[in-house]
Structure 1
Amino acid sequence: MDIVGYSARRARAPATPLRSKLRPAVPRDRHVRTLRGDLMTHLESVDLEGATAHDRMAMDPPFETLVGLLQDRAVRMPDREFLRFAGRAWTFGEIDCWTSRLAQRLVAEDGVHAGDRVAIMLPNVVQWPVSWLAILKAGGVVVPVNSSYQRSDLAFVLADSGARVMITDTAHTRLVEDVRAENTALADIRIVDAAHPGELTRFPATSPACAITGQTLANLQYTSGTTGFPKACMLTHDYWIRVAWVCANATRLGPDDVALTSQPFSYMDPQWNTALCLTIGAPLVVLPRFSASGFMADVRSNRATFCYVLGSMPTLLFKQPPTPRDRDNSLRMVLCSAIPADLHAQLEQRWGAPWREVYGMTESGVDLISLPESVADVGSGRLGQPVPTKRVRVVDPQGHDVANGEPGELITSGTPMMLGYWNQPETTAQVLRDGWLHTGDLAVRDAGSYRLVGRIKDMIRRGGESIAGAEVERALESDDSVVAAAVIGVPDELFGEEVKAYVQLAPGIERSATPAQRIVHDLRDKLAGFKIPRFIEFVPDFPRTASERISKPALKARSAEQPGTTYDLKPPRRDISGSRP
């Protein structure tokens, strides 16, 4: 037997026909024992030719818990592939059985009760989603832990969450043991070896008796923590179900599709991708990590029809050398957050599939989405329309709506939405005000859609001008010699702040004043003069969050400890009297 008693099969290639439309759901039934029938029957029997994606997204999903959804899939399609890791596949039936036995073990041997927090610290292996679903079946609350965390990070998350059990692997067990030994409050945390939790076949292959509803807390999902300690978003079953339902209907994905993900499972994207594949009854391919050089080859070899990428991933992919096989893939939809507007049409042309924006946060799931038919959004930077279960506004600091074309903070309300931040009522009250989540993103309303222009906390004040770091970064990354860029404000006696850019150059380009001067010179046709960086520092790479975004706090800390060569691209200024400072 392989991996706690469940054999992995070699992954099968998916069927070639791709279904383009979903059919509507029936009203939700709140009892798990009656959930078995409804979604696939109606997907197969009800004609939805007249229904729009907007209509479908507005409907309530037919299931309200991930537990009920998995149980239905195991009954209706037990032999259909569900999860694929490193070329090995597990079916819905196998995963349902495995997660039920593990849930029974967590209850019987580890004392997990409803509401208990159980942490998972694993890389991208099949035991991650199995542990997630098993904990939910036991009525527990999942605490995802980044597998790259060290002692202080791990100790904070375990103490803050109040986790009683940790599911991990051999590579991390010593770290967990050290944290337990150094923190008396954590001494009683039980460690479960994910690969060898004992003989699970002695436990029933049915879920423990546990009352779970859509409003049952499912995750304490810690944000990336790019500013200070991370905060834990309280996410319910309903949250995950609705994110998956909206994305499934917006993209018209169905059981003949194949989804692929490469982000760490501790981050929310592989989790909502798992919920998505449960919703549509399709397989999810999980890569060990994101690799720009190998990503499209994995898309091609797994015949993936859908993937989600975010942050700098599109730019890093586009910077890879083109090959004759670029369009030799099965992709029919790519969802993305932060598609570079200048590259959008080129991304579609190069790989032969629509790329569409989806906007949301861990706190809010999904708020805005651009539909496949929204071809006018390509290259515009627009994020699409609000999903029908959400309201979106752009407001000034006093909370008043700003005029079209004027920048303001993007705020959102509706479902899905977090319940709040765990153990942080004051922070929750600051972010969730009068039913509106304040995102901290600066946006403009544009032709009935929305465009992001930066982060409130990522604004540089140079003299009397406000500069969005994201805008300068996009302009820098449009240069063929630039792989990635990060822009920050540095103190300046005259202007208050000056613009400094950290730049990662493409392989083979010399790090010297010459390319720095050329890059800045080329920006003059793209940006107003006051936005152009005065300083450039070349870096070999960037520290990144789990969501593949550049971590500017970590970048600043690294630069302070290991300063590189900074090129000053303006001549020394004269003061008011005309003498050089």
Structure 2
Amino acid sequence: MFSAPRPPADPDTYGSILRLLERRAAERADGDFFRFEGRSATFGAVAEDSALLAAGIGALGLQPGDRIALMLPNGIDFPVAWLAAARAGTPVVPVNPGYGDEDLAHVLLDSGARAVVAGPEAAAKLEALGARCPDVRWVGGPGELRASGVESGQAPPPVGEPDLDTVVCVQYTSGTTGFPKGCGLTHGYWLRLAATMQAYGRFGPEDVALTAQPFHYMDPTWNLVLCLVAGMPLVVLPRFSVSTFWRQVRDAGATFFYCIGTMPSYLFRSPPDPELDRGHRVRLVLCSGIPADRHAAFEARWGCPWRETYGTTELGVVLMAPLEDADSVGSGTMGEPVPGREVRVVDGTGRPVADGEEGEMQVRGPDTMLGYWSGEGPDTGWLTADGWAPTGDRVRHEAHGYRHLGRLKDVIRRAGENIAAAEVEAALRAHPRVREAACVAVPDDLRGEEVRAYVQLVEGVDPTVTPPEALAAFAEGRLASFKVPRYWSYVDRFPLTPSQKIARTRLAAPDGDPVTGAWDRRQGRWR
């Protein structure tokens, strides 16, 4: 039996992120808001510093509605600058400092950013894009913004009347199947997401949240707003490190963290350390994509509940496994809808399917993104006529919630048969010498598409010990014959998106031939 999460406070309760920051600065002025590598910043100090930075943004001549890109490493400066831009009314465009020229130019041009806040390490990259992005100027780092605010003598812009529908940032998706897409996200979006998480975990000032993810990704941002809602500090790590993570968690006194992708599996492969594994204060871990076969082992080793959650940049949090429902552990399902979200499963024509049948998940509810960014604003035509948002995710509703079956775009059509890449990948990962796998479609004149598998072996295993013939034979014992990949390749590591998902578009052969360098199972040779 499911017990639904407590209903979150309505975003109207807070007015806006800025009103909430004002309230926390008044109530908990000396309470820590951010901690980073021995430094800390209180709610009161963050309110003052973000106001000064907001004055600096105004001194640059930026007007409310102008976009400002933040291209900064993890630390206290990023979230303070994010809050400053919110006060200035200039939507933030978080930018991955690791972007190459093409992705960087796309995000800056697509968002219509007028300025970029970045340190000197990004100067050469930004200057090289000058001809392609003539309307974007590099204004230096947060220090230069502060100096600009002081020298101008401008007063910080007023917080203003609450407007939950005001866009506070243009958050770009991971771009697993193409260029990243910008999502126009509002004060209401972030407050509803954070309030839902606070109600679920019952977080308060005695808690400590921790993030090891980069701030250009969305999760540290909802962590930031969650800490405003709960009145608790956020410990920011410079990066995720398997060897130091649990020591950092223990030393920070963290009671909560969220993780994604391959992070928990990497942690689990590290040697057990009873002192670190159980010497922490963590009372809840939320994760997207917990491996079902290791879920119970995670909880047994680290002594705290790990709960599944599902969300998207476009929709915020959608599904969560109930905290008290221990029976869901190891089920591989994502939970049930959170308060304020409706979920349905539809077929290819958009008609709802019966419970237990596969289809695309669609979601409806308030405070989702306004739309995908297009030039000067969001395109609001992304919903169906009756308000449902497509997710592109194939799911099935089961006893313990919704099961993720893969992306619609990751379905390979071979000789009239549909092959879910996720199913084939799961079968390959079951091999004891396979660390990770990804499958993509390659064109075929006879069958329309064939399956090409990319395999990363566990550390220390050589392909000569686990040749493609052996992997194909292993797959034949677990999959229908038409699902067994024809083409096989090995990779030392997979290219990843900022959200730790495999960037499938970057798996293409360098010469453009989709089967170059692959072992052909049908022909029994390397291509």
Q: Same fold (TM over 0.5)?
A: yes
- Name the amino acid aligned to 2:204: G
Counterpart among 36, 51, 71 of residue 100 in structure 1: 51
Q: Does residue 266 of structure 2 align to residue 316 of structure 1? A: yes
Question: Partners in 2 of 1:427 and 1:341 — Cα distance?
Answer: 38
- Deviation, structure 1 residue 106: 1.4
Question: Partners in 1 of 2:378 and 2:160 — Cα distance?
Answer: 32
Mapping of 1:391-470 within 5 angstroms? 391-423=342-374, 429=381, 432-447=384-399, 449-470=401-422
- Deviation, structure 1 residue 503: 1.4
- Name the amino acid aligned to 1:65: S
Once the two structures are superposed, residues 161-191 of structure 1 have per-residue CA deviations (whole angstroms, 9 ceiling, x without a partner) of 222222111111232233234444x26x351
Q: Does residue 206 of structure 2 align to residue 256 of structure 1? A: yes
- Name the amino acid aligned to 2:90: G
Question: Partners in 1 of 2:509 and 2:451 — Cα distance?
Answer: 17
Q: Does residue 227 of structure 2 align to residue 277 of structure 1? A: yes
Mapping of 1:103-502 within 5 angstroms? 103-107=54-58, 109-184=59-134, 186=135, 189=137, 191-199=139-147, 208=158, 210-324=160-274, 325-423=276-374, 429=381, 432-447=384-399, 449-502=401-454
Q: Paired residue for 1:512?
A: 464
Mean Cα displacement is larger for which, 443-452 or 203-212?
203-212
Q: Does residue 463 of structure 2 align to residue 503 of structure 1? A: no
- Deviation, structure 1 residue 289: 2.1
- Deviation, structure 1 residue 404: 1.9
Once the two structures are superposed, residues 266-299 of structure 1 have per-residue CA deviations (whole angstroms, 9 ceiling, x without a partner) of 1111111111111111111122222334333322
Mean Cα displacement is larger for which, 309-318 or 139-148?
309-318
Question: Partners in 1 of 2:514 and 2:266 — Cα distance?
Answer: 25
- Deviation, structure 1 residue 242: 0.5
Mean Cα displacement is larger for which, 229-238 or 155-164?
155-164
- Indicate the SS of the match to 2:285: strand
Contact 2:328–2:400 (Cα < 8 Å) also in 1:
no
Contact 2:19–2:162 (Cα < 8 Å) also in 1:
no
Mean Cα displacement is larger for which, 356-365 or 319-328?
319-328
Once the two structures are superposed, residues 475-529 of structure 1 have per-residue CA deviations (whole angstroms, 9 ceiling, x without a partner) of 3334442222211123345543333221112221112263544444444554444
Once the two structures are superposed, residues 513-548 of structure 1 have per-residue CA deviations (whole angstroms, 9 ceiling, x without a partner) of 635444444445544443333433211111111111
- Name the amino acid aligned to 2:409: K
Once the two structures are superposed, residues 59-115 of structure 1 have per-residue CA deviations (whole angstroms, 9 ceiling, x without a partner) of 5562031111111111111111111122321111111111011112211x1123221
Q: Paired residue for 1:27?
A: none
Contact 2:183–2:378 (Cα < 8 Å) also in 1:
no
- Deviation, structure 1 residue 433: 4.5
- Indicate the SS of the match to 1:264: coil
**Poorly superposed stretches of 4+, deviation over 6 Å:** 424-427, 561-564
Contact 2:372–2:378 (Cα < 8 Å) also in 1:
no
Question: Partners in 1 of 2:155 and 2:236 — Cα distance?
Answer: 25
Counterpart among 87, 97, 101 of residue 38 in structure 2: 87
Contact 1:61–1:242 (Cα < 8 Å) also in 2:
no
Question: Partners in 1 of 2:419 and 2:242 — Cα distance?
Answer: 30
Question: Partners in 2 of 1:431 and 1:92 — Cα distance?
Answer: 38
Contact 1:233–1:422 (Cα < 8 Å) also in 2:
yes
Once the two structures are superposed, residues 198-228 of structure 1 have per-residue CA deviations (whole angstroms, 9 ceiling, x without a partner) of 5456768865354441111111111122223
- Deviation, structure 1 residue 431: 5.2
- Name the amino acid aligned to 2:246: M
- Name the amino acid aligned to 1:234: G
Contact 2:7–2:339 (Cα < 8 Å) also in 1:
no
Question: Partners in 2 of 1:559 and 1:311 — Cα distance?
Answer: 30
Structure 2, gaps ≥5 residues long: none
Question: Partners in 2 of 1:562 and 1:54 — Cα distance?
Answer: 47
Cα 1:517–1:283 shift into 2, 3 Å: farther
Question: Partners in 2 of 1:245 and 1:398 — Cα distance?
Answer: 35
Cα 1:245–1:63 shift into 2, 3 Å: same
Cα 1:421–1:391 shift into 2, 3 Å: same
- Indicate the SS of the match to 1:285: strand
- Deviation, structure 1 residue 124: 1.1
Cα 1:160–1:212 shift into 2, 3 Å: farther
Question: Partners in 2 of 1:88 and 1:282 — Cα distance?
Answer: 16
- Indicate the SS of the match to 1:454: strand
- Indicate the SS of the match to 1:444: strand
Counterpart among 1, 11, 15 of residue 64 in structure 1: 15
Question: Partners in 2 of 1:290 and 1:539 — Cα distance?
Answer: 22
- Root mean square deviation of aligned Cα: 2.7
TM-score by length of 2: 0.91
Question: Partners in 2 of 1:426 and 1:53 — Cα distance?
Answer: 33
Contact 1:445–1:451 (Cα < 8 Å) also in 2:
yes
Cα 1:257–1:514 shift into 2, 3 Å: same
Contact 1:392–1:413 (Cα < 8 Å) also in 2:
yes
